[in-house]
Amino acid sequence: MRLFTAILLPEDVRTELAGLAGGLPGARWSPEENYHLTLRFIGEVDNGFAEELAEALSHVGGEDFELAIHSLGSFGGARPRAVWAGIAPSKALAALRRRVESALVRAGLPPEERKFTPHITLGRTAGARPAAVAAWLGDRGAFRLPAFAVGGFSLMSSRLGSAAPAYREEVRYPFGGEAFAP
C-alpha cells in the first residue's frame, strides 16, 4: 500500500485552484479531487506496518488553524516538471509537520531528508516548453486565495495508473477528536 499524510482542501479552494488549469500546452493537469497538501510522503508499506503508522498518527493531535494560498511556482528549475500553488508561511503548519514526522519516525519510518516545501501540485509540465511555463506563471503571478480552516489531517493511499493517481482517504485525524476511517 502506497501512503502519504495530507491536509485535504475545502471544496471551494479546490474549485478556485481548478480554475487555473488550462492555457499551458503540454501540461497534464491534476484532477480537482486530487488537490491536497502533502505533509509527508511515506511510500510503499505492507498492511501491518500501515496499521502501526495509522496508530502512531492518532497521537499527533493539534488545534485548528488557518492556511492561505499566496503564490504559484514550479519545480524543476530551467526544465519545470510541475506547477504548484504555494502556502503562506505558517508556524502552525510547520509544527503539525514536525509532529507528524516525529510520530512516523518513532513508528519506524526513516526520517525525511528533503526540505518541506508546502504546496499543492496543480499539474505536471514535463511536456510543456519552459518558456510557456514561465509565461503561464507570469500571467497568474498575483494569484492569492483567502485563508481557509484546517481542522485535522489524513492518512491517504494512492494507486498509480496510466492516468492521474487515484487517492483514497484511509484515516482522518480531526484535531480534538477521535481518528476514524471515512
In a domain, 180, yes or no: no
List the catalytic residue out of 5, 24, 27, 36: 36
Is 59 marked active-site?
Answer: no
List the domain range (segments joined by +) for residue 73.
Answer: 2-174
Phi/psi region, residue 15 (left: phi>0; alpha: psi -120 to 50; beta: rest), is alpha
Residue 150 belongs to some domain of the structure: yes
Helices (H) and strands (E) in the chain, counts: 4, 10
Helix (H, G, I), strand (E, B) or coil at 55: helix
| CA distance linking residue 9 with residue 35, whole number of Å | 7
pLDDT of residue 111: 97
Residue 120's contacts (CB-CB under 8 Å, 6 or more residues apart) are 9, 17, 35, 36, 37, 69, 84, 85, 87
Q: Is 57 within a domain?
A: yes
**C-alpha cell belonging to residue 66:** 488557518
Low pLDDT (below 50) residues in the chain: none
Residue 53 within a domain = yes
CATH classification at residue 161: 3.90.1140.10
Distance CA 167, CA 132 (A): 29
Domain assignment of residue 72, yes or no? yes
As beta bridge partners, residue 173 has: 153
Q: Is residue 94 included in any domain, yes or no?
A: yes
Helix, strand, coil share of the chain (percent; to 5): 25, 35, 40
Q: Is residue 36 annotated as part of the catalytic site, yes or no?
A: yes
Q: Closest Cα to residue 158, out of 29, 41, 39, 28?
A: 41
Give me the number of domains the chain comprises.
Answer: 1
Q: How far apart are CA 60 and CA 178, in angstroms?
A: 11
- Region of residue 23 (left: phi > 0; alpha: psi -120 to 50; beta: else): left
In a domain, 137, yes or no: yes
pLDDT at residue 162, rounded to an integer: 61
Cell of 159: 494507486
Each residue's pLDDT tens digit, 20-64: 999 999 999 999 999 999 999 999 999 999 999 999 999 999 999
Check 40, 119, 124, 172 and give the catalytic one.
Answer: 119
- Asked, for residue 179, whether it belongs to a domain, the answer is no
